[in-house]
Structure 1
């Protein structure tokens, strides 16, 4: 059963942990054990770091690409709302 409390680590700590996995040749589980942290969150962060370095599966989005997609979807939603408002306004003219 999972805990409702999730410990948050600094970005620097996470970067260092990922770098340790890369440089040590050890598994994510072994590094997590050495650092005294849960291996699953580290595994997820390590996987994202691999994708951001271009080492992911074909079609996987990097963090920057995911952020751009979120931004574009937000802009699209705002533009659709503006168009709908203008459409309703012209109906009353």
Structure 2
């Protein structure tokens, strides 16, 4: 069994409060109180751990309301993203997002098979290539 502490619980609590409220380091406060800095540091850690809410603690009414609001907002944003992805596909099946082409290549290049836009995930094929283009030859095989 450990020997009884030479510091009273009141002294410990007061030392911890001084350390937490002070702009000084724990080592400086310990030196002023004539304590070992590691002793004071241990008291501070123990105090902070006791003040932490338990991981499985129930949410307060305000926290539940905030969580519910954030979940609602998240659903709205997910629906908006889905809508905008669908709207990004033009009637030609090509992505109309600036700087993107449905062909997955350079805008205006007409010989490719459309591989799909990474932004809107379109996967339509086409490309209006010329006769004898690579896409037409591979389709004929």
Q: With structure 2 as the length reference, what TM-score do the two structures score? A: 0.33
RCO higher in 1 or 2 (8 Å CA, sep ≥ 6)?
Answer: 1
Structure having the larger proportion of residues in helix: 1
Answer with 1 or 2: which has the greater Rg. Answer: 2
